[in-house]
Amino acid sequence: MLYRLNLNYALRGWEKMAWTVVDQRRNQVKKLSSEEFQLLLLCDGETDLGNIDFTNEMKRALKKFETDHLIEKCEYKKPLNFDQYYRYYDNRYVQTVFWSITGKCNYRCRHCYMDAPDAALGEVSTAEALDFIDQMAECGVLQVDITGGEPFVRKDFWQLVDRMIYHKMTIGMVYTNGWLLADKVLDEFERRNLYPEFSISFDGIGWHDWMRGISGAEKAALNAFELCQRRGFEVVASMCVHRGNLHTIPQTVEALKTVGVSWLVIANVDMTPLWCSHSEGNAMTREEYIEAMLPYIRWYYEAGRPIEHMEMRGVAEMWNDQLGDICTSHFDGTQDCLDCYLCGAARWSCYITPEGRLLPCMPMTASPEQSKFPRVQDIGLQKGLSDSYYMQFVNGRVKDLFAANQECAGCSYRYKCGGGCRAAALTGADHDLMGCDRDMCMFWKNHYDERILQTIREAEAKYPLPKCEVDT
């Protein structure tokens, strides 16, 4: 009796997660018990399982693997493909690398993290970029999300994509302003059987050109949305709100619907050095932003949930077919949070800047402390993900923050807040990795969690879905 792994699966292991099976179509990882792992090792298309005295539990596990199409029976010996055999990586597991492949851009956005209009961070050479990709493969990275600057201005873009394909990495999302997104670009993705999701910036009807510093940016973005919808590529609209464009949200939603957008992400503009200089009085504090969003929560339901998914970063997330919820990082209010990691996202992802610096997330690009983080070309990605200043952040737990920060340790909201976002603390007024996230302090002390959830529930009660839709 011969079994082999389905062609879509491979056995993989990382530090502290040694036994997993990877769905290579979706790059999803499933942890295995020791027994499950040993059983799958035998499903190599060459080992006769009929000669093995399995326990009833192992027989049930084998049957479930077959039912789930994880393995398949073989009539004759059929070895695994080379990349399906077990491979262990001497670094922590990183599912996704967010990579700014260039600091260059064809726009002059008023709020850019990296001052892309002046290409302050430039870009690494083709040889270095290809080496980065090879290093990602050596670390078991499964997915790359591509951003910039504007990624499509990089002249060797397709060369980098082809190297990712060679290593069987998925390109999950491409962040773009949409100006260069044309049929010929989507043709190239389709030719490679790649269908990434596109995140396209759109900062409100009548305001997008002003925000992006380019005449015609609004038209280009709407054309890009329509193109993606027509060609079958998924797309998300990302809107930076400020005092000037707040009133355009209803009009913007209607415009986005007409070009096939079903998911809108709204966020306050972070106080980057560039935005501080070029906001022309339109900048809002985080408190002002939350207060401005509360009426639009009510508007979403009153207007009949006009878009399938509307997310207000740090405030609320709402859908047209399910209950909405508060949208902010928080813990359960008990001491159990002490052993939680400071940032859950940083445990499964990392960010590489245009100059090759390894950071936990993109907002830290605006931090004066970013120079403390290692460059991939200097120490290598494997060491960066195992033993570097970067790992001090990734491995940090809430109890470590409280030990270093007496203000947070003595706060009555500490078990809900957990100290807040480390990027916000680092880029905020205190410029301290282990300092207070002042925006999160404000959020909890002003009871915005209660106010937001109450606003959502009251609006849902007043403007419920039709019963047939709720039942489905």
> pLDDT tens, 419-472?
999 888 887 777 888 899 999 999 999 999 999 999 999 999 999 987 645 444
pLDDT-based confidence at residue 122 (cuts at 50, 70, 90): confident
pLDDT of residue 118: 65
CB atoms within 10 A of CB 74: 16
pLDDT of residue 116: 59
Q: How far apart are CA 224 and CA 159, in angstroms?
A: 23
What DSSP string runs through 249-296?
HHHHHHHHHHTT--EEEEEEPP--HHHHHHSTT----HHHHHHHHHHH
For residues 27 and 178, the model is more confident at 178
User: Does pLDDT of 337 surpass 60?
Assistant: yes
Q: How far apart are CA 177 and CA 180, in angstroms?
A: 8
User: Does pLDDT of 311 surpass 70?
Assistant: yes
User: Does pLDDT of 78 surpass 90?
Assistant: yes
Q: Return the bridge partners of 31, or none.
A: 20
In the block, which residue shows the tokens 């390109």?
A: 171
**Residues near 426 by beta carbon (within 8 Å), at least 6 away in sequence:** 364, 367, 369, 432, 433, 435
User: Does pLDDT of 382 surpass 70?
Assistant: yes
Share of the chain above pLDDT 70, in %: 97
User: Does pLDDT of 202 surpass 90?
Assistant: yes
Amino acid at 162: D
Q: Which helix (H) or strand (E) holds 73?
A: strand 71-74
What DSSP string runs through 395-464?
T-BHHHHHHH-HHHHT-TTHHHHTT--HHHHHHSTT--TTS--HHHHHHHHTTHHHHHHHHHHHHHHHSP
Which structure tokens are listed for 412? 């009555």
pLDDT of residue 472: 43
Which structure tokens are listed for 197? 């999701």
Long-range CB contacts (within 8 A, 24+) of 423-426: 423/360, 423/361, 423/363, 423/364, 423/367, 424/363, 426/364, 426/367, 426/369
Average pLDDT, the chain: 93
pLDDT of residue 469: 52
Q: Which helix (H) or strand (E) holds 21?
A: strand 17-23
- Phi and psi angles of residue 261, each rounded to the nearest 5 degrees, phi first: -85, 130
User: Does pLDDT of 140 surpass 80?
Assistant: yes
